Every structure is written in structure tokens, then in C-alpha cells.
Structure 1
């Protein structure tokens, strides 16, 4: 009997919602206009611009290989853009028989010389193959005879036996793109989840059904769902401070195979439910089996920890014991090379093994602990729509005592109980409960982080300005300071001195232990004052929280992810004694962000011979949406301006 498949494809709302026609579509052909182009009008800072790119993926009907054809046309505006003339094509291989390969590489450089178009073609001996790792090779080539103003074009075809994985298509990169188009023909017996990522609108979104496009054994026939997607005038994606990985926000289309139906009537599910995944993880050799390892805690933990009656104190002691006795080897190793047995023996291993051992010791001591899978900030957001285990790259532990939750990671000796490394602050994670079912949990810092500086200044008998600085850092600010100070305190003080060009530092001391929740330091200073004529100019900010505004873009299309809420407090008292008179004081400033999400308060007062300055800044959200960017940019510009340009002017009597 003839089998026929009619394709059903589920696209995200964002793809279906934006569809409009482009009046004139750019071409792969290089024109005289392309060659005469000196700069890109819509981004005059661009070093290169993609004038046209085209992709097409389909199942070849005879050998059932996945074919992906790609074409690119790029204008090189200056020497900084020359790197875009070097092309790396990553190819996947499972073994020596299942591998991707690239064919039909054609590349040409176009130059305009004395009014004539000169073309230089890539030769076969200029194409190289390089091993990347056991599962990847790279085909490499660089376009020949490139110059400032060159236009390069190249095309190639990838043949892949892995027809279950359509290639993602990136509409955006680190240079602007005039036009980017991707076409797919997906047989009806392949059912995909398709995601449009990045929030940009599709200029073209066309879909149609092509009947009988693929034939199989036993007379089986499948229709194909043919799609055409395009974006135009895509700005360059520029990375800036306070963001997670750019791959959370780059505009692209991704494909995740849900089910495959064979022409023989068989059906294979690729996208599973969390219930199915929980069962797999329960027996996984690197997760479930390691979590069930039986250890004799009396052979590992000191007796005083085992006998501690208070559950919270016992958990804190176990956490500290693992921190102090097992060394992290800087590897995450979520689903490979995880062995609690080897960790106990060698005293060093990856993050997963260390935190699984922490989980086991907590459980064995009577404290219920759950493993938690997460994706670090540099790894991107884990998909919530359906389980994708490869999205996760890290494991921590979660306990609850007296109604309060604690997230634990024992890889770092500078962390305090209930504090996660900054790399883990990526919004959410998946808690594994093999007795019940897994669930999503929020990842939020346990407390607000602060920086508090108290500065006292006065003129000595020689009219030199001297004083003391005391500071107290909490939360992640303390964590970062401990990471800097304890490995090399001399280098820390040297860096502090280099960052403070107008003061001389002496008698530096730190009254903080490595596992303390705060970092406190103090030191004496001599202020190198600026005298011009009869006036003395003093900037009371001997320590500056912000040297420059971290926000410099004209606009930003992705969130401002601080990771944690922040408070800054700076107070200064300046005793001018009877030998000086105040000629000018800085003006007070008060500025707020919308919806009470941030505030600046700056004030200077005088009482007799004593000047008092107070600067407070708060950022009350971990994450600000992209539309907050102009407000934050102005906010931080004012904060920097206050610190740099708040000058007290004195005259000598």
C-alpha cells in the first residue's frame, strides 16, 4: 500500500507573527555598485558588511543525505575587515564511515583597479583540512588578493549523513548584513521544533507544501514542507558589559527533531518528556549511578561533623569539609568522566563529581539534598519547551532547612554557604527529584551585594592632605575581592596602588578570613593635591567605583544582565582646619531609574571646618530589559561624571 505523509510543522509564534515582502532582493552577483562602495551608510563603523547570503537545506532524494548549500557576498571596507576573508567550515563525524564533507567550493575576490574589474579565483591547493577534535574537522581557506574595498564571494555544499539535524541559520553576526535568506525543504516524516531566536522580525516568511518530494521503499511517499525565511538590514551584534553569552540573543533559526516516521511504519521519538529524561538520568552512569554510590561517611567526615545535632550547622560543616579537602580541576564534565570513587581517592576532580559527593554526604548525614542541572552564563539558556540535555553543562546541590532553601557549589573555597559562583547566575535550573519528578527552579543570589567606603581626610601640620580609607564589601563584591587578594596579597596592593594615581598608599591591612561573608580592608593615604595659583583643587573620590561608563552603544537589543543587585556607598569627611576657606563645592545630584529600579544620591555639606560628602548608588534589579538601556546609559554616565568631576575648591587663608 502506498504510504503518504502530510507534514505538520509547529513554528514559534514569533516566526508566524512577522511577515512582509522585500521590494528588491539583493543578488549573489557582484555589481559595480558593490565595488564602488566606500563605507556602509547604516553603520559607518563597520569594517566589513555581508551584502548577500543564501542557504538551502534539503534531503537528497536518491541517497537520502542532507544537503546544505551556502552562498556569501561580503564587502571588505578596510584592513580590519580582512579576517572575514578567512573561512572555516566545521564538519562533524561520528566515525570513519559517518561523516560530513564539503564539496563544490568556489571562491572569488573582486577588485576595481583603474576602472577595470579584476577577479582572482581561489585555487584547490589553497584549501586545507585541519583536525579540530575527535568528532570535528575544519575545512579552511582564505580568499586571495584581498584589498581594502574588495568584494569577496564564495559558495560551497555540505553533504551530511546526519539527516536528522538541519543546520541552524544565523541571520546576525559581528558585522552588519544587508540580506540573509535561508530555505529548507523538510520531508513530512520529519517533525521538527523550529525556534526563531533573537527577537528580530522576519522580512520574509513563506511556507508551502510540495507533494511527493521524497520516495522510499515499499512505495512510500512523503510530501515536503518548503520554507523561505529572510531578514534584511541586520545590525552587527556588538558584545558589551553585563551580558550572558551572545548566543542567547543572536538572531537565528534552530531545528530540533521531535519525531521521525519511517516508510516501513516505524516511529522514533527524539524529543522526550521530562518524565522520560528523569528515568534516563536515574540510571545514567555519570549522574544517577554516581548519586547512588554508597560511601561510609565515618571514613570520610570527622566525628564532630557527623554528631552535630543542628542540621544547618551540620550542612555548613559538610560543605566546608568538601571545599577544603577536594580540589576542582577546572572542568565541568556534566555527562562524562564522573567518578565519586576516583574523587575520594585522588582528592581532585571535575565540578560534577565534587558536587555529587557533596550531595551524597549531605544525604548520608540525614539532610535531604537534590542535584540540580544548570547551564552556566557562558553556555547559554537551557531550553524550557522540551528537554535538551546537551543544553546543561553544570551540576550543583539544593537543600532546604527550616523552610529556607540553599543552593550549594563546593568547587571554590572563596564561596560562602548558600552562594553560587558567578558563572552559575543564569536565571533558572532543573532540580532532579528521582522519587517524584524534576522541576524548574529560579537561580537568584541569596543577598544583595554592596561596596561601602569610608574616607577621612585632613591637612597635617605641613598642609599635606592625609587620611585613611576603610571599606567593607559583601556578597559577590567580597567574593571577587577574596579571589584577588588571597592568592597574592602583594600583587593585590600593587594593583590597588596602580589604580589610584593621585594617592600614596601605606599600612594596608585586611581583617577578613577566606571563608568570610565580607571583605574588609583599611589603609593610610597621602593625597597628591592639585594647586593652581591661590586655589587648591581636591577630588574627594580617592576611590572610584566606575572609571568609565560601561554602556557605549547607540542602542542595545539584548538585556542588561548584572547577575546580582548592587549597592554602592561612599562617604568622605574632609577637615580643612583653620588655614583654608571653601571657595566652591560640588552640586548635589539625585537621579532615579524608572519603576524604582535604581537611584543615585550625591550630597556635600559643610559644618564648620568639616566637609561631608555622601554618594549612594543602587541597582535594584539583577536583569534590566533592553528598553531600559538609554536610561541606564544616562544613569551610569552621571555616576561616572560625579566621581570624576566633583571638585572641592579651597583657598589658603
Structure 2
């Protein structure tokens, strides 16, 4: 850092790396809380809002420090109206602080104030939080969490808190800012001041307009103390130049309403993020902070917490691998045995990590670790066996999408393995119980992953590449021996539904699981002789079979031919949607019913056949029914040829599913023959 400071001082001028528009400063201040603040009148606040964010303002700035460089200063000021007790969780605030690398690199928490306001007999009553009520807890080896809870909470309270976090600058990113959350916000504002020699990439996302979006230049002075290196005494230096000062604000921000089929709210919230791209010490001395993917992958493979441990110079895995693969007749079986051994004998303690928590040898001995520990160990074992295997990093769906073009490792939270066998590539994840060879959970399909190799190219992981096939057959006939209407049910589940079912069956007895299936039927339906195929064959989907009996006694019977296989509700209930529909896979559902007309009855009404397309080629719904020679046949088919739909497609998709729900709910009416 001292060298960087001296280079800056040697510059005859400071370089701005972008051109900015001048804008008038609009730095609003909140007033004192009055009784009027307890009554909110805004178009984005309705009776369902448990809380309202009255004021949410933050800023990020730089200041010179005594360690020879800069400190990032983040300030926040928030006011929230807690309309009822369902929002009391907002009164417990968690502040993460980086706490590794020594005291000079740890973040500091300062200037803290927290107050609860209540309206009593028309007067505003304050209750301040005692600063000793803050407690610290260890989060991981890199950070701690500071927590505090505001006092004297009542329905209708307003809570207010301010604090500052100071971060010694080590090529840090400026903190991101979310203008939108689960509660409506009357005002949300973020101000960022960037010294002229730092060049940041600014990334905006979301679908809401900015009330304020302005940038200007402002002359700034920075004082930096070089503490010396033991041979030289400390010195104070002064730097100055035109900093970039930017404001963004939103007014009357609606709450983010999470709808079905969304990968992560983080992808769609109105927010702004920053990535340091370079430091410009002079016009001809620019240091690139954001590296290329080639350099980043090379660094990862040399990192002891990632790729350095993939080689096994001491051969400590040799004897164990020979035992695991003994008797394998070909390369594929050898790889499968290795994968299954790791999957079935290791416990994943954390599915949100892309660095090792321990050396691989320790993970081998303890038989547990995070997702990186387990899948990098699997990769090392495959390499040891002579396979071409490499780690792949990705961001899971619940973590949010990663920018493919930017080598920003903080975006990634997961590691899998890719192995080549006889010119075929397989993606493997041994951290998930009961997951088959060459299979990934839906959460891994979030656009793409990045292979970490000499050529770190993208690995496609699109949900549009996945198809969930499900076929159900129901056969019903008159059983004259028992005077009942009986038959059989067989359903071949899709792979991902099978994975969910296996997880459920691992937590409960099979008979209890099947009893829960029986509960989805009307009381007059009796289920027996249930069985599940391929329960332990994790590479295969499940098949569920059972026998069914019904007894008709009424003069008029309303019969649902889809049984429990119909779509009961439209998953797209909202009238409009601002962000895309992101399904986990394409849907291919087939339902086939062959049934004899119940003895002593005739068909009085039967649904009409229909075919409906979704945007010509993007989906299809068929409902084909016939009644001939005492037999009813029904073939129902629902195909979606895409997993992802834009907001412009939402209304069409919503109407399509509304039709599916309505049609599949139609009944056959049987009338007793007199």
C-alpha cells in the first residue's frame, strides 16, 4: 500500500476514467419524528403491509487512513414503522463485519444510535437502546456478526437506527444497495463518492424508475499517513482532485412480491452494485484489479484453498481408491464407484461455499466438509485414477445470477466436478444425498458455470435444457366379485420429482408416505397394495403403483377423471408481473385414463375435447376424451417447451394455465339407470 501511495503522490495530475454529467446536490435530511409519521398515506402501502420503511438512506465514501492508503466509510440511517407484531423481526438488526487478517484489516463499527418511538396519548415517547446491548457472534473464519434488538416494541412503533462501518481498503468493492425489499419504502437513497483514481463498474438491476439519478464532480482533499517501515519515520501526505459524487433515490417503492417460479429475488430487486475495475495512478500507470478469466482461473488452481490440493504428490489416496474401484470392468463403472463412495460416505455441512474449509486429506479423514471440500476431493480422486477431471464453479439459483463476463469470484457459491469418460462429459455433485451420477439438482441450473482449467470456458447450465417427464396411467373396471369399481394407478415420476420424493422417504416410513398420498383422494377412494420402484437406484426416476377401489351409491355421481393429477390452482395468480417466469425445467406431463362405465350407470355429461397452444410453439395442452362401447378414454397432455418466459409473455402464460386448471377440474356426470 505504501508503494501505491508514493506512486499516487508522484503523479502530476489525477485521472478521471469516465465522463459524468453535472447535477445539483439533493442530499435530503429527515426531520424530527412527529405524530404525523405514525400515519402513512402512500399508493404503495396497503392494509397487508406489516411494516413500512419510512426512510432508508446510505452513503459510501473514502477517507485517508494511518496505514498508508484509504478506508471505505459506509453509513446507514433507517426508519421503519412496525404496523403489527408480524414485523417485529425488523427490530433485530445484524451487521456483518470482516474480521480476518489482523487488526489493521478488520472492519470497525462506529457512531451507533438506535431508538424506538411510540405514540402515547398523542405524544411521541422515545426509548433509546443501551449501546452495551450489542453482542457479537462468530459467523465464519472471515467475519463476525454484530446484533442488536431495539427495545420497547409495540404494534405501531417506529424504530430508527444509524451506524458507520469503516473498512480498510484492500481492493474492496463499494457496498451494494437495495432500494426494494419485502416491505414498501417511502424513500430510499444511496450516495457514493469515489476518488478520481478508482474506476468502478456500476451495475443497476430491477424494473422500477429512479426518482433521482445524478452524478457530479466535486473537488476533494485526502490526507494519508504513511507509518514508515522501521527505517523511515511516518509522514503525512495530502492528495486532491475531482471525485465522482453520485446519488440514486427511489420514492414510493412497492414491496417486492415474491411469486412462484422465480430463481432468486436477488436477480430482480431494484438495486445497484459496484465492482472495482482498475486503479489509475496516472495516465500511463493503470493497475487492472478485475482480472481476466484466464488469470483468475490460473490463480485459483494455485490457491491452497482451491486447486493446489488437487494433485496428490504423496499418493495418500492410492490404496483407498484401489479398494473403492476394485472389480470395476470399465472406466465408466470406475468413475461411478468413486462418485458413489464420496456421495454415500461424506456429509456436506455447507452447500454455500466455493473454497476449501480444510485440506483434502483432513476432509477424507473426517468424512465431512462443505460442498467445495467434497467435490474438490471427488475431482482429486478422479484425477488420481487417470481421468480428465476439473472443478466447475457456479452460482446457485437461490444465490442469484453471476455476470458471465466479469471474473468476480464473490458471485460464486458452489463447486461441482466435471469428468470426461470416453469422450463424454459428466457433471457430478457428490455433496447431495441420493443424487444420481451425471445429475445435478435444479438449484445448480442458473445460466452457466465456469470450468477452472487452462481454458476457463463457460459450461451451459440453462433450465431450458432440462425436461421433467412424467407419465401417469389409470385403469378402472367394474369388479363384479366385490361389487366395486376398482383399478390400478401407475405413475412414472420425473427425475426431479423423484429426487424430492426420495428425500421425503428418507425422513419418513414408506407406509406413512403412501398414506399421505391416500389423503389427496376423496374419502370414498380406497388405496391398497402400494409399492415404489427404483427407490435405491438413484440414477433412475421413481415409479409409484397402487390399486384403487371406489363404490358408487348415489343416483347422480360427479366423477373427477384426473383424480389427484390435475393442476388445482393457477400458479400465476397475480394480475401482472414485472420480472420473468423462471421455471426449474420444461414440463412434459402425460395422463392416460381408461375406465369402464360404472355398472348400473350411464354417462349423462362428459367434458369436451380440446387443444390449446401457447404462443404457437412454446407450449401445448391437449384434453382428448371419448366414450364408446361402455368405455371412457381420456388422454391429457401438458407440454411447456420453455422454462423461462419474459414479463411480456406473462399474461399469455397466466391465461393458458387458467384454462388448464379449469379444464382439468371438469367432471364426468354419471346417472344411475332406473
TM-score per shorter chain, which class? 0.7 to 0.9
Cα 1:283–1:483 shift into 2, 3 Å: same
Q: Does residue 436 of structure 2 align to residue 430 of structure 1?
A: no
Q: Please state how far the C-alpha of 1:579 moved relative to its aligned partner.
A: 1.6
Of stretches 265-274 and 451-460 in structure 1, the one that deviates more from structure 2 is 265-274
* Aligned residue in 2 for 1:178: 186
**Inter-partner Cα distance in structure 2 for 1:76 and 1:513:** 48
SS in 1 for 2:431: coil
Q: Which runs of 5+ in 2 are unaligned?
A: 1-9, 225-235
TM-score (normalizing by structure 1): 0.87
Aligned length: 637
Give the match's secondary structure for 2:255.
coil
**Counterparts of 1:108-187 in structure 2 under 5 Å?**
108-109=116-117, 111=119, 113=121, 116-124=122-130, 127-133=133-139, 135-142=143-150, 144=152, 146-148=154-156, 150-162=157-169, 164-187=172-195
Distance 1:31 1:511 in 2: 67
Task: Find the counterpart in structure 1 of residue 232 from structure 2.
Answer: none
Alignment of 1:225-624 (within 5 A): 225-260=244-279, 269-294=288-313, 295=315, 297=318, 299-301=320-322, 308-309=329-330, 311-324=331-344, 326-332=345-351, 333-401=353-421, 404-412=424-432, 414-434=434-454, 437-444=455-462, 448-461=467-480, 463-485=483-505, 488-502=509-523, 503-515=525-537, 516-527=539-550, 534-624=555-645
Over residues 375-432 of structure 1, what are the superposed CA-to-partner deviations in whole Å (9 max), with x where a residue is unaligned?
Answer: 2222222232321222222222223455543212233453333211222122210012
CA distance in 2, matches of 1:304, 1:85: 55
Structure 2 residue 81 is the aligned partner of structure 1 residue 75? yes
Note closer, same or farther for the CA distance 1:24–1:189 as it changes in structure 2 (3 Å cut).
closer
**Per-residue deviation, 1:22:** 13
CA deviations over 1:571-621 (Å, ceiling 9, x no partner): 112212552111111233433322522222112210111111221111222
| Displacement of 1:219 | 4.5
Helix, strand or coil at the partner of 1:5: coil
Structure 1: runs of 5+ lacking an equivalent: none
Matches of 1:67 and 1:318, distance apart in 2:
49
- Report Cα offsets for 1:293-323 as digits up to 9, x if no partner: 25465652359767735x5455445444544
Q: 1:48 aligns with which of 48, 51, 71?
A: 51
Q: What's the CA shift for 1:563?
A: 1.8
Quick one: which of 189, 195, 198 aligns to 1:190? 198
SS at match of 2:549: strand
Alpha-carbon deviation of 1:71?
2.6
Contact 1:290 1:338 in 2 (8 A): no
Change (3 A) 1:405 1:65: closer
Deviation readout 1:194-227 (Å, 9 max, x if unpaired): 2213343323111111124334444432321111
Q: CA deviation at 1:127?
A: 4.4
What residue number does 2:213 align with? 205
Match of residue 4, structure 1, among 13, 23, 34? 13
Q: In 2, Cα distance between the equivalents of 1:189 and 1:643? A: 63
In structure 2, the CA distance between the partners of 1:551 and 1:577, relative to structure 1 (3 Å rule), is closer
How do 1:82-101 residues align onto structure 2 when only pairs under 5 Å count? 82-94=88-100, 95-96=102-103, 98-101=106-109
- The aligned counterpart of 2:230 is none
Secondary structure, counterpart of 1:300 in structure 2: helix
Give CA-to-partner distance per residue, 1:362-387, whole Å, 9 cap, x none. Answer: 44444322221112222222232321
Cα distance change of structure 1 residues 2 and 218 upon mapping to structure 2, 3 Å threshold? farther
Aligned equivalents of 1:545, 1:572: Cα separation in 2: 13
The alignment's TM-score, normalised by the length of structure 2, stands at: 0.84
Alignment deviations for residues 221-272 of structure 1 (CA, whole Å, 9 cap, x no partner): 2321111111223221122332223222222112222334679x99765322
Q: Higher mean Cα deviation, 20-29 or 534-543? A: 20-29
Cα distance in 2 for residues equivalent to 1:104 and 1:30: 18
Between stretches 219-228 and 438-447, larger displacement belongs to 438-447
Decide whether the 8 Å contact of 1:39 with 1:77 is kept in 2. Answer: no
Secondary structure, aligned partner of 1:634: helix
Offset at residue 526 of structure 1 (A): 2.0
Determine helix, strand or coil for the equivalent of 1:378: helix
How many angstroms apart in 1 are the aligned matches of 2:504 and 2:534? 13
Q: Matched residue of 1:301: which SS?
A: helix
